[in-house]
Amino acid sequence: MLDHRLDHEYEDLRRTVEQFANDVIAPKIGDFYEAGEFPYEIVKEMGRMGLFGLPFPEEYGGMGGDYFALGLALEELARVDSSVAITLEAAVSLGAMPIYRFGTEEQKREWLPKLTSGEMLGAFGLTEPEGGTDAGATRTTARYDAETDEWVINGTKCFITNSGTDITGLVTVTALTEPITRSSEDGGEPSPSREISSIIVPTGTPGFQVSKKYSKVGWNASDTRELSFTDCRVPAANLLGARGRGYAQFLRILDEGRIAIAALSTGLAQGCVDQSLAYAGTRRAFGRPIGANQVIQFKLADMEMRAHTARLAWRDAASRLLHDEPFKKEAAIAKLYASEAAVDNAREATQVHGGYGFMNEFPVARFWRDSKILEIGEGTSEVQRMLIARELGMTY
Please list the active-site residues: 378
* CA 331 – CA 262 distance, rounded (Å): 8
CA distances, 159 to each of 26, 121, 192, 279, 377 (Å) = 26, 16, 28, 35, 9
Residue 143 contacts residue 151 (beta carbons within 8 Å) = yes
3-state SS class at 322: helix
* CA 68 – CA 55 distance, rounded (Å): 8
Give the model confidence (pLDDT) of 322-367 as tens digits.
999 999 999 999 999 999 999 999 999 999 999 999 999 899 999 9
Structure confidence at residue 147 as a pLDDT band (50, 70, 90): very high
**Percent of residues, the chain, with pLDDT higher than 90:** 89
Greater pLDDT, 264 or 185: 264
Q: Which fold has domain 249-391?
A: Butyryl-CoA Dehydrogenase, subunit A; domain 3 (1.20.140)
Structure confidence at residue 143 as a pLDDT band (50, 70, 90): very high
User: Does 122-244 match 8-121 at the fold level?
Assistant: no
Residue 139 has pLDDT above 60, yes or no: yes
CB atoms within 10 A of CB 355: 8
Indicate the domain borders of the chain.
8-121, 122-244, 249-391
Residue 169 has pLDDT above 90, yes or no: yes
Superfamily of structural domain 8-121 = Acyl-CoA dehydrogenase/oxidase, N-terminal domain (1.10.540.10)
**pTM, rounded to two decimals:** 0.93
Give the model confidence (pLDDT) of 190-227 as tens digits.
334 689 999 999 999 999 999 999 999 999 999 999 99
Class of domain 122-244: mainly beta
For residue 150, report the phi and psi dihedrals to the nearest 5 degrees.
-135, 160
Give the model confidence (pLDDT) of 60-93 as tens digits.
999 999 999 999 999 999 999 999 999 999 999 9
Nearest Cα residue to 221 out of 343, 120, 85? 85
